[in-house]
Amino acid sequence: MRFLPSLFLLALLGCATDQSEAPETVLFENGIIHTMDEATPQADAILVTDGRVAAVGSGPDLLAQAPDAERRDLGGQVVIPGLIDAHAHVRNLATMRLA
């Protein structure tokens, strides 16, 4: 019976992965970023620091703020803010009560 716990432990060790840390600061540039701000509705770059949006603006301006940031080219793709869990199940729509 000692074989089974040893096998389980070996399987767990095999599942261990090397999780490299993500870069602390990333500049996403060359995109179409919808800011939802009436004063500046669109930008072409976004600076993310430690997983949080630090700044939104033009690529050169944000690069000046963080010259050591890892740069990622969005290739003209669109970025929109915060669609977090934006779905509903049809079967629940009939039972939902609007407050």
pLDDT tens readout for residues 43-54: 999 999 998 899
> Is the separation of the CB atoms in 30 and 71 below 8 Å?
no
* pTM of the entire predicted model: 0.61
> Is the separation of the CB atoms in 4 and 11 below 8 Å?
no
45-91 pLDDT, tens digit each: 999 999 889 999 999 999 999 999 999 999 999 998 776 666 667 66
For 60, the enclosing helix (H) or strand (E) is helix 59-65
Instruction: Using alpha carbons, select from 61, 56, 66 the residue that is nearest to residue 26.
Output: 66
Which pLDDT belongs to residue 51? 86
pLDDT at 98 over 60: no
Q: How far is CA 30 from the centre of its chain?
A: 17
Q: pLDDT grade, residue 36 (50/70/90)? A: confident
Instruction: Using alpha carbons, select from 69, 79, 61 the residue that is nearest to residue 26.
Output: 69
Q: Which residue has the tokens 């261990």?
A: 16
Domain covering 19-79, topology = Urease, subunit C; domain 1 (2.30.40)
Task: Map out the domains of the chain as residue ranges.
Answer: 19-79
